[in-house]
Amino acid sequence: MQLNFIQLDQTFNQKRQELWQLIESDIQQTLDKFYVVLNRSKTYGHLVKGQEDRLKKAQKNHWAQTFKEGFTEDFFARTKRIGMAHVKIGLPPEPYIESYNLIKNELTQVIVEKCTKRFNTDSQKIIQHIQTLDTVITVDMAQSISCYEQHLKHLEEEFKHNVIESFSNKIAMSIDSVASAAEQFNSSLHAISNLTQNNNTLINQTSSKTQEAAETIENLNSHVEQIHEFINIIGGLAKQTNLLALNASIEAARAGEAGRGFAVVADEVKKLSHNTENAASSISQKINEILESTASAVSKVLSSNENTSNLADSFEQISMALSQQQDAFQDINININNISANVQDFSEDIKNH
C-alpha cells in the first residue's frame, strides 16, 4: 500500500530501528500508564476491563514489529485488524485518537530524557527521533482510523438501503392499495354502466310500447267518435219517426172507425221511436263519458311517454358520464403503473449510488 502525503527517504528504516532501540525498554511502562488512564474512564473503561494484560502484550508486539519491520503489507493488514477490533467493541474515534496522542507524548518524553542524559547527543538527533516517532504513530493511526471511515460508509449504505427499501415497500403498498381501490371502483362503474344500459333498453322498450298504446287509444277514440256520429244519426231518425207517427195518429183520428187500426200502429211506432230516442241519448251520454276518459288516458299516456323519454335521456347522460369516468380511471391505472415503475427505478438508482 502506498502512502499519499508522507515522504520517506532511504535512511528512514535506519532511523526507525535506532528509535526502537532507544524506547524499547520503556514501551511497557508507557502502555501501563495508558491503560491506567483508560481504566479510570467512566465512559470507556468497561470496554477493556479484565483484558488489560492481553491487550498490552498484543499492542507491545505490534509496536515492536512496526519499528523493526516498517510499513510492510503485514503492517497495513495488522493495523486494519486492530482498527476493526476497536470499531466492533464500540470505541468512538475520538478517544482512539487521544490514546495515540497519550502514547506519543509519553514516548516523546522518554526520547528527550534519554537523549539529554547522553552528553554526546545533540538537539538535531532529538528532533530526528521525535520526527520518526511522529511519522510512525501518524501512519499507524491513519490506517486504523480509516476503518472507522469504512465502517461509517458501510452503515451509511446499510441505512440508505433500509430506508430506500422501507420507502419503496410503503410506496408499493400505497400504490397497490390505490390500484386495488381503483380497480374495484372501475368494476363498480362497469356494473353500473351495464345496469344503466339495461335500464336504458327497458326504457326504450317501454317508450315504444307506450307510444303504441297511445296510438291504439287514439284509434279507439276515432272509432268512438264515429259511433257517436252514428248514434246522432239514429237519434235524428227516431225524432223524425216520432213526428211521422204523430202525423199518422192525427190522420187515423180523422178517418174515424176506418183509421182505428192505423192509429194503433202509429201509437206503437211512436213508442218505439221514443224509446229509440231515449236509448240513443243514453248511449250518446256514455259515449261522451268514454270520449272524456279516452282523452284523459291519451293525455296521461303521452305525458308518461314524454317522462320516459326524458328518463331515457338522463340515463344516456349517466351512461356517457360513466364511460368518461371509466376512461379517467384507465388513465389513473396507467399513471399508477408509471409511478410504481419510477419509484422502483429511483430506488435502484439510489442503491447504485
Going residue by residue through the chain (353 aa), what tens digit of pLDDT does each one get?
556 556 677 899 999 999 999 999 999 999 999 888 888 888 888 887 888 899 899 999 999 999 999 999 999 999 889 888 888 888 787 877 888 899 999 999 999 999 888 756 678 999 999 999 999 999 998 888 888 778 777 777 776 777 667 766 777 777 777 677 767 867 776 787 777 777 777 767 777 777 776 677 777 677 767 777 767 787 777 677 777 767 777 877 777 777 777 677 767 777 777 777 777 778 777 777 776 777 776 677 667 667 777 776 776 787 777 778 778 777 777 877 777 777 777 667 766 66
Q: Where in the chain is the domain with CATH 1.10.287.950?
A: 174-352
Q: Where in the chain is the domain with CATH 1.10.490.10?
A: 12-169
CATH topology of domain 174-352: Helix Hairpins (1.10.287)
Give me the pLDDT at residue 60, please. Answer: 93
Q: Do the Cβ atoms of 286 and 198 come closer than 8 Å?
A: no
Of the candidates 8, 1, 26, which has an alpha carbon nearest to the alpha carbon of residue 106?
A: 26
What's the pTM value of the predicted model, to 2 decimals? 0.48
Give me the pLDDT at residue 120, please. Answer: 66
Give me the pLDDT at residue 5, please. Answer: 55
CATH class of 12-169: mainly alpha
Give me the pLDDT at residue 220, please. Answer: 67
